[in-house]
């Protein structure tokens, strides 16, 4: 929207706008004193889906910095835009980007064990992002654009937020690597099992793992209540 509808980085081709956007990004990082290894924005690094989604290839920390830069840029764009522009989508996108950037900042600046206030702030920032995204999805569907599709990962993100509020555990130390750990565990288990009994062996081990996790979560809940 910033490049195509508002011409925030001036007229020209999309590649020229990406180059100007990268210059703006570098200047932002210098001002905020944020380190990054993000290469220049190029068309080869941008994936444009049929639904209108635009995805930029970036590593974890670089994606975090890009998100913060986009959030601040959206705020500046909102300052000079009409509140009714495109049914208020610009303001909702700005709020969603700001909320997600705030969520990242809070999870990275807080320890593993959270107090009630810290857990509430993380939950609130994530919930505000989901609320804004839901409104964007509704507007997009009404305009028949389908630019903000609902995906299972947003439902999973809601459960992450609820666990933060309940157990007061920083998701950066738990959910960030939980899927990768599960895949590594499954790969290691299947490697040493018999091919004919591999599926049964994985199911048995997974059931045992779930029982241990259930018992462990009770202990974590007791610690959080203290």
Per-residue pLDDT band for 175 (boundaries 50, 70, 90) equals low
The pLDDT of 1-19, averaged and rounded, is 74
**129-137 mean pLDDT:** 92
**pLDDT digit string (tens) for 70-122?**
888 888 877 766 555 565 777 888 888 889 889 988 998 898 899 999 999 99
Ranking 68-72, 123-127, 146-150 by mean pLDDT, the lowest is 146-150
Q: What SS3 state is found at 55?
A: strand
Res 14: pLDDT? 82
Judge whether 19 and 4 are in contact, CB under 8 Å: no
**Percent of the chain at pLDDT exceeding 90:** 20
The distance of Cα 115 from the centroid of its chain, to the nearest Å, equals 23
**Residue in the block written with tokens 């018992």:** 215
Average pLDDT of span 45-52: 73
Predicted local confidence at residue 132, as pLDDT: 92
For the residues 19-37, what does the mean pLDDT come to? 91
Dihedral sign from CA coordinates of 57, 66, 138, 140: negative
Indicate if the pLDDT at residue 220 is higher than 80.
no
């Amino acid at each position: 929207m910033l490049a195509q509808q508002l011409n925030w980085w001036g007229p020209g081709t999309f590649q020229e706008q990406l180059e100007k956007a990268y210059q703006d990004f570098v200047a932002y990082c210098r001002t905020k004193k944020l380190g990054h290894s993000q290469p220049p924005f190029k068309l080869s690094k941008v994936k444009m889906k049929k639904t209108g989604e635009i995805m930029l290839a970036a590593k974890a920390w670089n994606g975090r910095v890009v998100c913060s830069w986009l959030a601040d840029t959206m705020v500046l764009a909102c300052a000079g835009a009409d509140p009714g522009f495109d049914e208020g989508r610009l303001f909702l996108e700005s709020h969603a980007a700001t909320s997600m950037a705030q969520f990242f900042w809070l999870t990275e600046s807080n320890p593993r064990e959270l107090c009630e206030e810290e857990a509430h702030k993380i939950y609130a920032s994530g919930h505000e992002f989901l609320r804004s995204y839901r409104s964007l999805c509704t507007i997009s569907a009404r305009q028949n654009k389908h630019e903000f599709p609902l995906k299972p990962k947003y439902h999973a993100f809601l459960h992450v937020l609820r666990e933060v509020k309940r157990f007061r555990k920083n998701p950066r130390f738990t959910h960030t690597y939980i899927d990768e750990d599960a895949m590594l565990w499954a790969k290691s288990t299947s490697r040493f099992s018999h091919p004919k009994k591999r599926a049964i062996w994985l199911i048995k081990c997974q059931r045992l793992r779930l029982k241990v996790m259930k018992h462990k979560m009770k202990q974590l809940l007791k610690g959080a209540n203290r």
